[in-house]
Every structure is written in C-alpha cells, then in structure tokens.
Amino acid sequence: MRALRKTHAGPGLELVDLPEPTCGPHDVKIRVMRAGICGTDLHILAWDASGRSMCDTVPFTPGHEFYGEVVEVGDEVPDVRCGDRVSGEGHVVCGICRNCRAGRRQMCIHVRSVGVQRDGAFAEYLVIPRSNVWVHEHDGRTDVISPELGALFDPLGNAVHTTLTFPVVGEDVLITGAGPIGLMCAAVARFAGARHVAVTDVAAHRLQMARAAGVDVAVDVSATSIRQTQRELDMREGFDVGLEISGQASALQEMITNMNHGGKIALLGLPSREFEIDWTTVITHMLTLQGVYGREMFETWFAMSAMTTTSPVLRDRVLATVTDVLPLRRWEEGYEIARSGSGGKVLLDLERLD
C-alpha cells in the first residue's frame, strides 16, 4: 500500500510503499477514504520541539482524522462488519489506569495516539482496536455521513467537547481563533442556544467563513477591540463563556479582560511558548479556566453524531470549513495550505492516490 511516512527523526515526510497492516483478533482493518491534516501533523512534518516531544518512535505513519470502509474484522469483534463506514477515536487507552477504570478514558495516563505513537491514517489501510471504531449511521440505502464529514469527526469532537464544557444556552460566547475548529465551535454554540456568538481573528477570509458559520460578529482584532464589539452587541456585561482555540498569548489575555465576573473559559489551543496572564483578574473576577484535550470517550461522539444527523444547518456549516480535498500525491500542497492558514480544513483523498 501507499503511505505518507515519517521515515527519520528530522523534518519531512515521504511517500513510500509498505505492506498492508495485519488485523489482530480485537482489531478492525479500514480502507481509508479521506484523512484530514491538523496542527499535530504540521508539528510532525517540521519535527519541531512539539513534534519531537509527542513522537517516541520513528518510523511511523501520521494522520488521525479519517473516514473509511471496514474491510476486515478480527475474530473477537462481534459488532463491526465489513462494509461499515467508520471514523475512529484516535486515543488508544490502556483500560487499567485509575482514570480508565473510573470511566474517564480520555484522561488515560498511558494513552497511545493514532498517527503519533502508532501508525495512522495517511495510508491506504489502517488497523485500530474495535473499541476505537465509530460506525456511522445509515438509512439502509445510503450513508448519512459523507466521506468529507466523516473525516471531520475528530476535530468536530474537539469543538463539541470544548463548546459544551460549560452551559451555553442563553449565554454570550467569545471564541478566539477562526480556524476550522473555531468555526466548528461557533456552529455548535449557535446550535446549542447561545445568545451572542463572537469570533476573533486577523485573517479576512477566515472572518468571512465565521460569518457564514452563523456568528453575530466576526472581529478583526488588529483593527477592532473586543470591548467595542461588546458595545455593538449591546452587552452591558462581559462574555459568559470563552472558547480559546488560537493558542495565542494575546488572545487569552484579551479574553480574560473581557469576561463577566464568574465567567468560564475552555482552553483548547496549544500555545507555542510560555506567557503571563493576569492572575489578579482571574482571582478577583472568579473566573474558571478549564483545559480541554481531545474528546470525551464516547459521550462527545454520541453528541456530535446526533447533531450532524438531525441538523442539516449544523452539518452544512461544519462541512463548509473544508476548502481543499487533494489526492495523496499532492500532500505537500495540502500541508502548505494548512501551515499558511490560506484556506480552511484540508483533506487528503486516499481514493485518489495520484
């Protein structure tokens, strides 16, 4: 099979030929149809400090956002069938640490991530444990979830987990960062009943995408302050819920300044450096800061499956974050679009290798 491979401990990736992976008794083998490029994959390509710290073995195949068709199941797998269309939870957990045994599998201390510490989805075939497989609904005639939407379930899960960390019904929500996950957060917040949804960024095309995602206001923070945005929305107090997606120091610092007393902030964006925040405001305004990583296993998957299958508006807004679907051989072009931020979500089409 063809695979995009991390062949050595240094910058770069290579398209190579590999044997197809074998399917163990508790595993499922998947023919990958679409796979998404995310920030983790950019770190792995660059082999920067983050990439080196995440990956403990080389060589391996990156890629953890995917959709595909089941082509083989292990002898001990009773409930997944060949032909099923699936996505997958990328965190393979130990099952025996305290968090796993208490039902908090997303907090497993021995987690091994697909496409990071084990072979991933930038290949024609992928093998993962049955416990990590999510079978998509169908109506008996056709698949409800398209390959493109199915490949978004991993990042959409991040957005759903982040957005629903705190109640948003009737609340004023501030989202910093209008990349694909920020746009998905905006769509989910609107779906979940937020009163006002504001998104910040500095890129004009992403702010336009945010408007299409149903936000009340898309703020170019290089020209307009968040405080001015509050006045435009006739908000007499600060934002109730903040979703920090950008990983930028200035974004979190400005968010803290513009939260209502007792406001709650969910943090998903990974910063590239350490930075100071105004802890006096955090304490005196009684703010809550909550880190978010991945998805709740598997409550988030049930939530996003229900939302995407019952709400055409949400489904369309999530799909609108995809701007490029490229065959595998054009992976370098896809990575550059993702790195530069010149588009939205980039998917690799594994059905079109050339």
244-255 residue pLDDT tens:
999 999 999 999
Given a contact cutoff of 8 angstroms between Cβ atoms, the answer to whether 221 and 211 are in contact is: no
Contact, 259 vs 238, CB < 8 A? Answer: yes
Residues of the chain with CATH 3.90.180.10: 2-152+321-349
Q: CB of 242 within 8 A of CB of 263?
A: yes
Domain with residues 2-152+321-349, CATH architecture: Alpha-Beta Complex (3.90)
Question: Residue 143's pLDDT is what?
Answer: 67
Tell me if the bond preceding 155 is cis, omega within 30° of 0.
Answer: no
Distance of CA 165 to the CA centre of its chain: 15
Architecture in CATH of 160-291 = 3-Layer(aba) Sandwich (3.40)
CA distance 218 to 78: 48
Domain with CATH 3.40.50.720 in the chain: 160-291
Angle, vertex CA 38, rays to CA 36 and CA 40, nearest 5: 130
Active-site amino acid positions: 40, 43
**pTM of the complete model:** 0.93
Separation of alpha carbons 249 and 194, rounded Å = 25
Sequence-distant (6+) residues with CB within 8 A of 82 are 70, 71, 72, 73
| Model pLDDT for residues 169-213, shown as the tens digit of each residue | 999 999 999 999 999 999 999 999 999 999 999 999 999 999 988
- Whether a cis peptide bond, with omega within 30° of 0, leads into 122 is no
Q: How confident is the model at residue 49 (pLDDT cuts 50, 70, 90)?
A: confident
